[in-house]
Chains A and B, each alone.
Chain A
Amino acid sequence: MEFSKRKWRMPRLAGDQRNASYPHCLQFYLQPPSENISLIEFENLAIDRVKLLKSVENLGVSYVKGTEQYQSKLENELRKLKFSYRENLEDEYEPRRRDHISHFILRLAYCQSEELRRWFIQQEMDLLRFRFSILPKDKIQDFLKDSQLQFEAISDEEKTLREQEIIASSPNLSGSKLALESIYKIPFADALDLFRGRKVYLEDGFAYVPLKDIVAIILNEFRAKLSKALALTARSLPAVQSDERLQPLLNHLSHSYTGQDYSTQGNVGKISLDQIDLLSTKSFPPCMRQLHKALRENHHLRHGGRMQYGLFLKGIGLTLEQALQFWKQEFIKGKMDPDKFDKGYSYNIRHSFGKEGKRTDYTPFSCLKIILSNPPSQGDYHGCPFRHSDPELLKQKLQSYKISPGGISQVDDCGFSLNHPNQFFCESQRILNGGKDIKKEPIQPETPQPKPSIQKTKDASSALASLNSSLEMDMEGLEDYFSEDS
């Protein structure tokens, strides 16, 4: 797959060609795609498939697989996300193409560890099982043939000859059902799970497998092939990862956010506005530190920055009142009219706290969301520095944060899963406070505070013992966090 530097659309194939490339609404993903696509489409396809697989996982937990509810809900998900699932009269090419490409993109993300592989294989198998279950009988043979599987249904005469034996061998088959059921003749070694438990009739080296059991065999084949493919993919991954455009996305896809959303926290009101400057250097992730700095310097942030940073602040414990005060104070320094702030900006702040409009209590953005939505342009300070900055600039910035050169090169392969800016904040605070929560402070009225005492640390960690001093000093929290193995 080629990735172009510029965004360009893929030329559309003529009708017949399109149908030929995807003759079925499901597939075994034996051939990787060979188109060029844009980076945006790459990302979108990847996200959509992650959403799909997560739905598969959730539905599999909430409902018994194969029941009507499970089936219909899964079908809805597929329809919603515009992936192929069933043959219908509409143009099938696009959903099948999306399905094809997105699967292979996710291989890149999910090949990297045993756990990820297992998860990916499990969801893909469940998805395939579903699609196969709704495949009409007359389509099954064609699909199997095209997928290079040597499964052929036996004729009725052959069935009758062996009727007694087949019935006696298959646990769930009765005489009446046999007439309707397709029986497939496959080499015995391909039906290992069936013949080892004597759940199938063997004759002259062949297993006579009812359709229902063929599915199990097909899924096993699929699992084996996918498992091998993922192992191969993992080996060629370094080449892919050297493309900086892909690396953050791939990393974050696989650590895709499923954890806390940091919306309602127990630490509401624990932060005072005066702590923010200090905290920004101690415990803010680089994206928020950068936003805070820009806000302080320019006394202004554009909408994207206000959203990202504002929700983050909410996540670390700022109350609505504090937030209003915080932003107003800063914007006023930028020669903004206080009334204009009240009219224009305070509504939005209240909105993001769920106090206006449809009262949605917006949750702080996860890393994935920050990386993938709303890329920053000139004059913006939001986004993810690791994704949206030039690597050299990023290096410089980290150096200015006083991280050691060793720490900088370690940033890229820190190895732990950082999914959320607020997670960063909490972890950092935990380390600095020796496991305790953020130091509690009584809620203050809206007046400036005298400078609080430096937060104390526990002696436990010697690396943190030196934290007892000046403001600028410590990026150690950040450095430790980046180099910490978890």
Chain B
Amino acid sequence: MRQALCRAPSFALWSAPHHFLGVNGPKEDIIASLRTHVIKNYFQHREFSFTLKDDIYIRYQSFNNQSDLEKEMQKMNPYKIDIGAVYSHRPNQHNTVKLGAFQAQEKELVFDIDMTDYDDVRRCCSSADICPKCWTLMTMAIRIIDRALKEDFGFKHRLWVYSGRRGVHCWVCDESVRKLSSAVRSGIVEYLSLIKGGQDVKKKVHLSEKIHPFIRKSINIIKKYFEEYALVNQDILKNKESWDKILALVPETIHDELQQGFQKSQNSLQRWEHLKKVASRCQNNIKNDKYGPWLEWEIMLQYCFPRLDINVSKGINHLLKSPFSVHPKTGRISVPIDLQKVDQFDPFTVPTISFICRELDAISTNEEEKEENEAESDVKHRTRDYKKTSLAPYVKVFEHFLENLDKSRKGELLKKSDLQKDF
């Protein structure tokens, strides 16, 4: 019972900032009303899905407004809420629609990066486990992908969210992006992909002679982390077992020279220096008749470059877990990540639901003692309290994101109404 109560409010948090902003001052009222205006067009046609106890999965949920959503959440008590597309009709009425007429029309562009996809290149953990040593992979992924989304594609509204266990999600919410076709979404993922091949492929990165700016900039980001992440924490040249894996990525002609140098060296750092020297003298392959750091870069990329799941991104109707959900296995809350402080983000300090519940209890006890005046509604009461828990900084990131989104929507609306006035 207590668990259930604890879960319900955390989902309410997804809509909480909307309420929250609606309660204070005039400026926030405008923002809130704008959001409602826009959401009014979208909200009823937005698909939600609930995952209930015993893994019962219900799709095509849709609601008239946020309070209906909250009521349903409190009633059904879902473990997990996923957010889907905005459809041509109300999703909960999709069965009444003529065949073929019910179409997903818009959705944010989303990305899902999962640590399990790196199992071939991390030594510390595997599958669902993560640790501080390998979390850097996510840090690098966020930096590389976010830079490209912002600088190359011009996307302005990007929300990065911790998935709650072993990965991160990205929500790109620009107006223009929501309408992108599946083909373009796939194309974006392709642009952002460098790692080719599954288990049976040893060498997964092949660079051509010309290095595209995207790749060059990504390599520059990796360089900032490589020494500490790969050579110290992961220790990728620690012993024969690990450096054999690296030898598999370079031509046989230099194996002997490399191994001699490796044996003489004391640690991964020295071995890596040796490798860089030898590799840059070696002609990479028949196509690439330039001498240079291509081999070195290919190794760095294979060990550090982001791995995206294309299926999550390409489908307009694909559902993705809502921010501020609770992860059923870890209890951690899917919190937004502050891009300004991405290097400091530590998944192990992300609050769990039980922790938040305890904090909330402590707060309300205090307030009862102070006997705060009016009888506020239960939800509103709890809503305001979130700002006093450990979720506060994360909520702030979220609000900031929403504010920016609203500003640009407001700008668009004004632009449109100006154009209309001209007629």
* Known A171-B210, A202-B214: A188·B153 in contact at CB below 8 Å: yes
Cβ distance A204 to chain B, nearest Cβ, rounded Å: 4
Q: How far is the CB of B108 from chain A (nearest CB, A)?
A: 16
29 A–B contacts from the bound complex (CB under 8 Å): A165-B213, A167-B210, A168-B210, A168-B211, A168-B212, A168-B213, A168-B216, A169-B210, A169-B212, A169-B213, A188-B152, A188-B153, A188-B154, A195-B191, A196-B187, A196-B188, A196-B190, A196-B191, A197-B190, A201-B212, A201-B213, A202-B152, A202-B153, A202-B214, A203-B154, A204-B151, A204-B152, A204-B154, A205-B155
Give residues of chain B (212-247) contacting chain A, Cβ–Cβ below 8 Å.
212-216
Q: Is B375 an interface residue (CB 8 A)?
A: no
B186, B213, B215, B216: the one within 8 Å of A196 (CB): B186
Give 9 A-B pairs besides A169-B210, A188-B154, A203-B154 with Cβ atoms closer than 8 angstroms: A168-B212, A171-B210, A189-B180, A192-B184, A196-B191, A202-B152, A203-B151, A203-B152, A205-B155
Q: Is A206 located at the chain interface by the 8 A CB criterion? A: yes
B-contact 0/1 string along A340-362, CB 8 Å cutoff: 00000000000000000000000
CB distance from A194 to the nearest CB of B (A): 9
Q: Give the interface centre of B155, B190, B210, B215 by most chain A CB atoms within 10 Å.
A: B210
Q: What is the minimal beta-carbon distance from B316 to any residue of chain A, in angstroms?
A: 14
User: What are the residues of chain B within 8 A of A202 when measuring CB–CB?
Assistant: 152-153, 191, 214
Does B1 have its Cβ within 8 Å of any Cβ on chain A?
no
Residue of B152, B180, B183, B214 contacting most chain A CB atoms (<10 Å):
B152
Asked whether any CB of chain B lies closer than 8 Å to the CB of A440, the reply is no
Let me know if A198 and B214 touch, CB within 8 A: yes
Write out the residue numbers on chain B whose beta carbons fall within 8 Å of the beta carbon of A165.
213
- In the complex, residue of chain B having the shortest beta-carbon distance to the beta carbon of A166: B213
Using a CB–CB cutoff of 8 Å, the interface residues on chain A facing chain B are 165, 167-169, 171, 188-189, 192, 195-198, 201-206
Tell me, in angstroms, the Cα distance from A203 to B154 when the chains sit together: 7
Residues of B within 8 A of A (CB): 151-155, 180, 183-184, 186-188, 190-191, 210-216
Instruction: Specify which of B154, B183, B215 is in contact with A198 (CB 8 Å cutoff).
Output: B215
B175 to chain A, nearest CB (A): 13
A192 touches B187 (CB 8 A): yes
Q: CB-nearest residue of chain B relative to A198?
A: B212
Q: 3 closest A-B pairs (Cβ-Cβ)?
A: A205-B154, A196-B187, A202-B152
Nearest-neighbor residue (CB-CB) of A174 within chain B: B210
Measured CB to CB, the closest approach of chain A to B68, in angstroms, equals 35
Residues of B within 8 A of A188 (CB): 152-154
CB distance from A217 to the nearest CB of B (A): 13
Given the complex, which residues of A lie within 8 Å of B215, measured CB to CB?
Answer: 198
Chain B residues with CB under 8 Å of A189's CB are: 180, 184
Q: DSSP majority for the A interface?
A: mixed
CB nearest to B209 among chain A residues: A171
Q: How far is the CB of A352 from chain B (nearest CB, A)?
A: 57
B residues within 8 A CB of A205? 153-155
Q: Which residues on the B side are within 8 Å of A192 (C-beta)?
A: 183-184, 187
Determine the residue in chain A with the shortest Cβ distance to B174.
A205
Bound-state CA distance A105–B50 (Å) is 54
> What are the residues of chain B within 8 A of A201 when measuring CB–CB?
212-213
Across the interface, which residues of A come within 8 angstroms of B155, CB to CB?
205
In the complex, the answer to whether A195 meets B151 with C-beta atoms within 8 Å is no
CA distance A205 to B149 in the complex (A): 9
Q: Are A195 and B213 neighbours in the complex by a CB distance under 8 Å? A: no
- How close is B182's CB to chain A, nearest CB, in angstroms? 11
Whose C-beta in chain B lies nearest to the C-beta of A167? B210
Chain B residues whose C-beta falls within 8 Å of the C-beta of A197 in the assembled complex: 190
| Alpha-carbon gap, A302 to B155, bound state (A) | 77
Residues of the A chain whose Cβ atoms lie less than 8 Å from the Cβ of B154: 188, 203-206
Residue of B whose beta carbon sits closest to that of A192 = B187
A206 to B210, CA, bound (A): 21
- Min CB distance, A353 to chain B, in Å? 59
A167 to B211, CA, bound (A): 10
Distance between Cα atoms of A195 and B188 in the complex (Å): 8
Q: Which of A168, A189, A206 has the most CB of B within 10 A?
A: A189
Q: How far is the CB of B134 from chain A (nearest CB, A)?
A: 27
With CB as the reference atom, state the residue of chain A lying closest to B216.
A168
Contacts of A167 in B (CB 8 A): 210
Q: Which of B187, B211, B216 contacts A195 (CB 8 A)?
A: B187
Chain A residues with Cβ below 8 Å from B183 are 192
What is the minimal beta-carbon distance from B153 to any residue of chain A, in angstroms? 6
CB contacts (< 8 Å) of B151 on chain A: these are 203-204
Bound Cα distance A201, B215 (Å): 11
Q: Tell me how far the C-beta of B270 lies from the nearest C-beta in chain A, rounded to whole angstroms.
A: 32
- In angstroms, Cα B191 to Cα A192, docked, is 10
Give the CA-CA distance A202 to B184 in the complex, in Å: 14
Cα separation A168 to B209 with both chains bound (whole Å): 9
A203 to B149, CA, bound (A): 10
A202: nearest chain-B partner, CB-CB: B152
Residues in chain B near residue A195, CB distance under 8 A: 187, 191
With A and B bound together, what is the CA distance between A195 and B180 in angstroms?
15
Docked pose: A467 CA to B180 CA in angstroms: 64
Distance to closest chain A CB from B10 (angstroms)? 36
